[in-house]
Amino acid sequence: MRFRIWLVLWIAGILFPMEFLARVWPSFGRIFNPIFAFDWVHVLMHAFLYTVLAFLLAQWFAPISRQNVLVLVGLGVLVGCLQESLQILSMHAWTSWPAEIEDLSVDLAGTLIGIGLARLFIQAKFKGGKKRQVERH
């Protein structure tokens, strides 16, 4: 149950249009705008958000089969498309296809990193559990 709450909160945080909030709440904008003025910060944040998202989703759909990996990638892309759509709607402006594709590409890369980390985590956990069972006998 706790896992689902964190997952829902994480997705809500991703989908919430922070740039819009920065425009309508000047105090927040004074903090947000200087930090996100750099493209590398924007890219790093997108990658981080989707890495954590995929890792959290992998607790539900363990990336041990090709089908589960595809489900995780699909969910990551779906959340990315929803986030970009909400951003466009909240800003009432379309940036450009290259900018949207760049964001979605970074989201996909973050999703793949999260899946890879989750897979390593699951393998390490399995090996650790198997090792402890052997030591007990």
Of 10-14, 58-62, 76-80, 132-136, the range with the lowest mean pLDDT is 132-136
44 or 123, which is more confident? 44
Q: What amino acid is encoded at 121 in this protein? A: F
pLDDT in tens, 72-93: 999 999 999 999 999 888 877 7
Task: Give the C-alpha separation, 5 to 113, whole Å.
Answer: 22
Q: What pLDDT is attached to residue 26?
A: 94
Q: End-to-end distance of the chain based on CA atoms, in angstroms?
A: 34
Tell me the per-residue pLDDT of 91-111, one tens digit each, with 9 for 90 and over.
Answer: 777 778 888 999 999 999 999
The residue among 93 and 124 whose pLDDT is bigger is 124
The rounded distance, in Å, linking the Cα atoms of 76 and 14 is 11
Token pair for residue 16?
């919430």
Provide the residue ranges of all domains of the chain, joining segments of one domain with +: 2-136
Residue 4 confidence (pLDDT): 85
Q: Is 136 exposed, middle or buried (0-12, 13-18, 19+ CB in 10 A)?
A: exposed
* Rg value, the chain, Cα: 18
pTM for this entry: 0.84
Going by C-beta distance under 8 Å and a sequence separation of 6 or more, which residues neighbour residue 124?
none
Which of 5-14, 41-50, 105-114, 121-130 has the least mean pLDDT?
121-130
Least confident of 39-48, 111-120, 124-133: 124-133
* CA atoms of 26 and 30, how far apart (whole Å): 6
Q: Say what percent of the chain tops pLDDT 70.
A: 92
Mean pLDDT, rounded, of the chain: 89
User: Are residues 134 and 77 in contact, defined by beta-carbon separation less than 8 angstroms?
Assistant: no
